[in-house]
Structure 1
Amino acid sequence: MRRIFTFIAFGLMQWALAQEPVHISLDDVLARVQESNASIQVSDQEAKMAKYDYRFSNSVFLPQISVSHTGMATTNPLMAFGSKLNQGILTQADFNPDLLNDPDQVENFATVVSVEQPLINMDGFYQRKAAKTTMEAKELQAMRTRDYLDFEAQKAYGQLQLAYRAVEVMQKAYDAATANLNMAQNSYDQGLLQKADLLEVKVRVTEVSDQLKTAKSNVKNASDYVAFLMNEQGNVVFQPTQELLPETIGEATEASLENRADVKAMDLVSEAYKANMRADNMTFLPRLNAFASYEMYDDQIFQADSKGYIVGASLSWDVFKGSQRFAKAGKSKTNYEKAQKEYEQYVAKSTIELKRTKRLVEDAENRLQTSKLAMEQSEESLRIRTNRFKEGLEKTTDLLMAEATYAEKQLAYYQTIFEYNQAQSLLTFLTKE
């Protein structure tokens, strides 16, 4: 029984330790996201796959070399005569018609080294160009993914900061509501306050208590998302080391959208479709390939008493393939035109998004000043009404309304700080080359 209690106590202790907030800075979050985020790892793997596709296209220039060793036994007249001829062991007696028509079993072992060298394959050249362009596009997309995850990590960290600010505000509101309830209870006990007013104060305490619980749950939700971005396992509650304060990033550079990684990637994708279109058009042209082989024959395994070679070139031309190439060329042209339209649409959409974000920064900056002023005014109003309530000069409903307004204005102010910081981060992300 003692061992069971010890085990339970140890488990509770571990659970309590697991709930202890882990302090973390924004720099730590950014570094761990870049190192461990699953989306970044996936984009890096896609870039590697495109790189191997490009290497695969080296076959347009590089030769194909193969080595084979074949052994056989045959009584087939043609094969038997040819095997002896390759082995260089033919004699006058082998031309006897009886032996030619009904030969004895002949063993033949052949070692062949063959080489095929592409010389002119115009469609292959453009396919290689398309593979290279696709590889470059994937690398830019991987780079943009890292930039986006940087922005997303900053946003998640800001949400964590905002969640802790909300807990702080609601905790103060709960303490104030509890203090007001004590004052109301004393006034009620002295006959200076009606029961209905006392119940209103109790209702306010219950409401604030529920809001405080929700705020604490939001801390866990924000921590879960930060952990997800960092690919962190386990039930961890993070606590930011920096407070939520307005951050001035500075004037964003007037960068050209064409130099942004994702826009350049879209442009390269369009170029890849263009190269594929040209490759399909080049299939109408002939191909020129060189070939060579060095052959060794013997009637014993792994022997080479007889040797010879073949060297040549092959010019092939598929004149007509049942209109397959016409359809394929037409489809690749359509894909290229579609990619061009998508690129133009993406640039137009990105331009609108950039303009909208610039206005978001300006609007958030304006709201920052007004929300701060509103918070300060509501705080002063609550202070005055609280003092008047202590003296019995203020209605309970007015005090509760002032208290609720102050909490609301605090949350609105911190929400505005979050939106201001995120608007600036988004502007930096959208203008990053």
Structure 2
Amino acid sequence: MNIKAITGLGLALLSGGSLLGQGGLTVAESIRKAWTDQAGLRAGQAMVESRQAEAEGYRDLRLPSLTLQAQGIRTSEPMMAFGIKLNQARIGAADFNPLVLNHPDPIGAYGGSAVLQQPLYAGGRITAARRAGDYLALAEAASQERRKQETAQAVVEAYFGTQVAEQALLWVEDSRAWIQGLEDFVGARVEQGLMLESELQRLKAFHAQIEAQKAEVTKQVRSARSGLGLLTGTGPVEGPLATPLEPTDPAAPLPSGARGDLLAADLQAKAAGEGAKAARGNLLPEVGLELGAGTLHHSWSDKGNWTWAAVGVKWKVFSAPDRAKAKAARAQERAARDLRDFRQQQAEHEIRVAREGVLAAQARHAAAKESLAAATEAKRLREARHRAGLAPLIEVLDAEAAVQGARTLLLQSLFELRVSRAGLDLATGHPIEGVKP
């Protein structure tokens, strides 16, 4: 059997089974294993959790901040020494002596303070940052869903690709059994002097070619199962694959659903818009409230206490870096919106191509089935004529080659049909093989 054509399927041969799967791992189970066990998707989920944690941080910007400070100090610096005594509430008349003021003795103190700061107005930066964080977290979650669907499509290619390889191996075995039987028949005729020795040698050469094909397909099957294990995160897959290669239900035209990548692009555009608002907020005034209390001790009982409350306004009337950042943020917002529009157009193109691909795959599959039926019948007739001595051996071998080619086309058409249907689901945003998270 000419398996070189099947080799053209390349790395797509990554799953196992026959045309009719019988018990074992289903494609739906393989997809779910990939979603839960694949390290790449687990890394994507960690990114989702990271974005969610960042969003929590942005939401907490509106909360007050509390700062606690403890300190101990010993100094003879004149201003600090006087200030420390003042904060300790133990200034006396002698402390105003110029000699003491100019050359104080070293003084020690310990104490602490607590400061509560509450932003009241920040030019909209806090609200914009909170919304941007929420949008980015949602966008990452949508991207993760898209990555899961892309992985599901890869699993479909892997799963049914191995079924192609394993069915090819079964047909190679059929060809080996057939050629062995024909070789025995021709060998007997050669011994009887009814056929030439060259006929037997030709059959042996054909037999050797089939043995080489078997070795190649066996390698593909093992590589395929290892590849499926890589996708599912479980190591090389063993045992039978249960889902049939040939679809059991017709492909129905489905309307476009919600694609994770398009949802992520829209959310990222919204986040960029909020980022532009936050950048503009840097050019506006900000208002804050501060409450504090402090204490400074000379000893446990000899100390000073104080409190304060303040409302302040700060406004960068002109800041060239902040103006540049605001301009850059507006450009990023435009870029995000344009990218969202382009991805929508790209998705519409992918849907059109995927639908045409399914129709073409269905037509090729129907033609391949007819070709195999015709080639099989032609081989049967030529083999019967050869056994009756009415046709040369070369016609039988040509008929076998035609059957092998038709089998290859059938396997390839089935694989393309299954993969094209998965591609249509991916393009339209529907669950691949009907598997939902």
Question: Residue 240 of structure 2: SS of its match in structure 1?
Answer: strand
Residue in 2 that maps onto 1:149: 151
Residue 427 (structure 1) aligns with:
424
Alignment of 1:31-430 (within 5 A): 31-121=32-122, 122-233=124-235, 237-248=238-249, 250-255=251-256, 259-300=258-299, 305-321=303-319, 323-430=320-427
SS of 1:42 mapped into structure 2: helix
CA drift at 1:278: 2.0
Deviations 1:390-410 (A, max 9, x none): 122111111001111112212
| Partner in structure 2 of residue 4 of structure 1 | none
Contact 2:62 2:126 (C-alpha < 8 Å) held by counterparts: no
The amino acid that maps onto 2:396 is L
CA-based RMSD: 1.9
**Contact 2:30–2:232, Cα closer than 8 Å, also in 1:** yes
- CA distance, structure 1, for counterparts of residue 345 and residue 266 of structure 2: 13
Cα distance change of structure 1 residues 249 and 82 upon mapping to structure 2, 3 Å threshold: farther
User: Distance between the aligned counterparts of 1:168 and 1:224, measured in 2?
Assistant: 19
Rounded to whole Å, the distance in 2 between the matches of 1:276 and 1:219 is 51
**Aligned partners of 1:237, 1:343: CA distance in 2, in Å?**
43
SS at match of 2:63: coil
Give unmatched runs, 5+ long, in structure 1.
Answer: 1-21
- Conserved? CA contact 2:142–2:263, under 8 Å: yes
Identity percentage over the alignment?
A: 20
Distance 1:185 1:23 in 2: 43
CA distance in 2: counterparts of 1:374 and 1:209, whole angstroms: 25
Distance in 1, matches of 2:239 and 2:329, equals 51
Q: CA deviation at 1:77?
A: 1.6
- Distance in 1 between the 2:173 and 2:356 partners? 34
Give the deviation of 1:308 after TM superposition.
Answer: 1.0
Whole-angstrom distance in 2 between the partners of 1:357 and 1:216? 32
Give 1:249 deviation, angstroms: 5.5
Change (3 A) 1:59 1:243: closer
Letter in 1 for 2:246: L
Q: Secondary structure at the match of 1:107?
A: strand
- CA pair 397-326 structure 1, distance change in 2 beyond 3 A: same
Q: Distance in 2 between matches of 1:249 and 1:136?
A: 35
Q: Which amino acid aligns with 1:390?
A: R
CA distance, structure 2, for counterparts of residue 77 and residue 364 of structure 1? 92
Check whether the contact 1:65–1:114 (CA below 8 A) recurs between aligned residues.
yes
Tell me what 1:8 maps to: none
Deviation digits for residues 339-390 of structure 1, max 9, x if unmatched? 2222222111111111111111111112222211111111111111112211
What is the CA distance between 1:96 and its match in structure 2?
Answer: 2.0
Amino acid of the structure 2 residue aligned with 1:320? F
CA-CA distance at 1:238 after TM superposition: 4.8
Deviation at 1:239, TM superposition (A): 3.3
- One-letter code of the match for 1:276? G
Worse overlay, 153-162 or 89-98: 89-98
Q: 2:237 & 2:343 partners in 1: Cα distance?
A: 39
* Alpha-carbon distance in structure 2 between the residues aligned to 1:25 and 1:99: 91
* Shift in Å, 1:120: 0.9
The residue type equivalent to 1:66 in the other structure is T
Q: Structure 2 CA distance, aligned partners of 1:146 and 1:266?
A: 17
Cα separation, 2, equivalents of 1:330 and 1:345: 23
Shifted more, 420-429 versus 193-202: the winner is: 193-202
State the 1:43 CA deviation: 1.2
Q: Residue 23 of structure 1: CA displacement?
A: 4.9
Q: Secondary structure at the match of 2:233?
A: coil
Distance 1:238 1:328, change over 3 A: farther
For residues 201-242 of structure 1, the C-alpha deviation after alignment (integer angstroms, 9 at most, x for no partner) is 122111111111111111111101111012124x55453134
Q: Matched residue pairs, number?
A: 407
How far does residue 39 in structure 1 lie from its aligned partner after superposition?
2.0
Cα offset, 1:149, TM superposition: 1.7
Q: Which moves more between the two structures, 188-197 or 198-207?
A: 188-197
Q: Once the 2 structures are TM-superposed, how far is the Cα of residue 189 of structure 1 from its aligned partner?
A: 2.0
Write the distance in 2 (CA, Å) between the matches of 1:247 and 1:353. 25
Q: CA deviation at 1:246?
A: 2.7
Taking the aligned partners of 1:30 and 1:350, their CA distance within structure 2 comes to: 23
CA–CA separation in structure 2 for the residues paired with 1:401 and 1:315: 93
**TM-score for both structures, normalised by structure 1:** 0.89
